[in-house]
Amino acid sequence: MTDTGSNPTPETQPGHLFGPDSQFHRFFNDPRWALAMVRATVLEAAHPQIGAALIDNSTFVMHPWRRLRNTLVSLQRMFGADDDVRQREAARLNRLHTRLNGTDAQNRPYDAMDPQVRAWVVATLFESSVTMCRLSGQPLKQSAMEQLYAEFQAFLAALGDQAGHLPPTLKEFWQYYDHTVETELENTEALRIILYKLFDHLPAPPLLSGLPTVWAAGRTLAGPVIGTVTVASLPEPFRRRAGLPEIPGAQTLMHGAYMAAGLARFLPEGWIETEALTDLLYLSPDSDDPRAATIAALHSRMKRAGALFRLVTPFPAQPGFAEEAEEAEKPAPRRSAEEFFDAVLDQTGDGHLDWPDLAAMARELSTRLDLDEPEETRLYNAYAEWWKELQSALDTDGDGRISKQEYAAAVPSLAGPALIRVAEVLFEATDKNGDQRIDATEHRTLFRTAFHRTPAATDESYSRSAFVQDFLSFMSGRRHSTAYDPLLAEA
């Protein structure tokens, strides 16, 4: 790419702003970008409005892998070559953001549609991409940096935001970025959770489900390293003002991590493609995907490794660590009311059930089914009616939310008219051809388990009554479900 010395804009170079020729497309499969994404997320969470929205509405604590998967799918759609797909995804994101508003713990308002807030999200993605190249010893040329900035400007424009919400030139951008870092960012609760809680308690991805010993061993080593690397990579003025720790050797570790990730680019082509790697994380061993046999064999080897690991390490016994292979063969036990509350109802992980938890369910289902208006609104409205029904029946102290104790003390198997309506609306949204049955293709669309999300094959169609009965059984009977656990309960 030639250095033109000018800042390319969406108007001057439209062919290279999206699609396979874009700078973003090259970064998407770069292993360093995983570190950059974590860093960008921390900088987003440090913004007071974004941090408050994450705490109140996001499922990133309880369902981080789901959040990662949906974010990657969204970025692929927005930066892909298909303009129709991009416009559809932009409309979906705007509908999602319109529903995210409120006030934080200090009674300050937040609104995910605030154009300055949206600009800051895009700014962190751009700046972290530039920084990852610099920290790994491969700084971007000026022309490449300008091209990348034009792509992120076009991304913001595709969402419908005016161009002025990001500075027009790179020189002005760096002034804007430094000013925001030094004057607006805070040591928010969301930031502290990401740095000091999320990685320490990160649940296993589907690939490693049922292997808690293996996962805990890896997480114990990797969690503190990722946190230390991320803190060391943040702008020094913010680290100082937020009181983030300075760990001896952290800068060396951080540079080493970025440089090591950069070396992965020398691996054979296709080994480090983001979509392929994420597919494997979410692929179920009993899927009809051709790779499932390999995953099943890998699971078996990991179980044996986990058993050996327990014999040679002093890890204390923990719930779920006893003989994973034997546990896997037992029929799924019935959940207690408390377990169901934690695994399914409390989607945001704040210890209470309120509207953001049910909205998160509606959001995930709408994303899975790729709903447009008005189907998406019908599903949200059905969940809103269910929330009113639950609040009326279970909120005994009148504080506007339902505690685990309030839920457990009531009749846990609540399947009133509003929940039945949720099941019916979900059936109608899944039944794309309107034949009053869910066929194998429609079944896969809802219960997919990876980017392609192929569950165990089924040739049987699903009637309305059977679907509603199974949904109610899961939501009120609290039994584990091969289909619904990955949909609403797993991370």
Average pLDDT value for residue range 281-288: 57
pLDDT at 240 > cutoff 90: yes
CA distance 215 to 199: 12
> Which of 20, 34, 17 is closest to 148 using CA atoms?
17
Tokens 């923990």 belong to residue: 318
CA distance 31 to 260: 9
pLDDT band at 276 (very low <50, low <70, confident <90, very high): low
pLDDT band at 270 (very low <50, low <70, confident <90, very high): low
- CATH 1.10.238.10 placement within the chain: 337-489
Cβ count near 17 (within 10 Å): 25
> 25-76: per-residue pLDDT in tens?
888 878 888 899 999 999 999 999 999 999 999 988 888 888 888 888 899 8
CA distance 53 to 165: 20
**φ, ψ for residue 283 (rounded to 5)?**
-75, 130
Cα–Cα distance list, 73 to 69, 142, 200, 302, 452 (Å): 6, 29, 26, 29, 11
**φ, ψ for residue 322 (rounded to 5)?**
-80, 115
Give the rounded percent of residues in the chain with a pLDDT score beyond 70: 77
CA distance 470 to 382: 18
Q: In this predicted model, which residue has the larger pLDDT, 451 or 35?
A: 35
Collapsing DSSP states into helix, strand and coil, what is residue 377?
Answer: helix
* Residues 229-239: b if buried by 16+ CB within 10 A, e if exposed: bbbbbbbeebb
DSSP code at position 331 = P
CA distance 78 to 355: 29
Q: Is the distance from CB of 149 to CB of 126 less than 8 angstroms?
A: yes
pLDDT, position 418:
94
> 346-369: per-residue pLDDT in tens?
999 999 999 999 999 999 999 989
Amino acid at 325: A
Q: Which of 169-178, 218-227, 278-287 has the lowest mean pLDDT?
A: 278-287
pLDDT, position 318:
44
Q: Is the distance from CB of 421 to CB of 382 less than 8 angstroms?
A: yes
pLDDT, position 411:
64
Q: In this predicted model, which residue has the larger pLDDT, 259 or 218?
A: 259
Distance in angstroms between the alpha carbons of the first and the last residue of the chain? 41
Tell me the chain's radius of gyration from C-alpha atoms. Answer: 23
DSSP 222-260: HHHHHHHHHHHHS-HHHHHHHT----TTHHHHHHHHHHH
Tokens 């892998």 belong to residue: 65
CATH of domain 337-489: 1.10.238.10
> 287-338: per-residue pLDDT in tens?
555 655 666 666 566 556 555 545 555 444 444 434 433 443 444 556 788 8
Tokens 């300055």 belong to residue: 116
- Which residues, 6 or more positions from 147, have their beta carbon under 8 angstroms from its beta carbon? 1, 8, 13, 16, 22, 23
pLDDT band at 383 (very low <50, low <70, confident <90, very high): very high
Task: Give the pTM.
Answer: 0.81
Q: In this predicted model, which residue has the larger pLDDT, 486 or 41?
A: 41
Report strand pairing: 462-463 vs 437-438: antiparallel
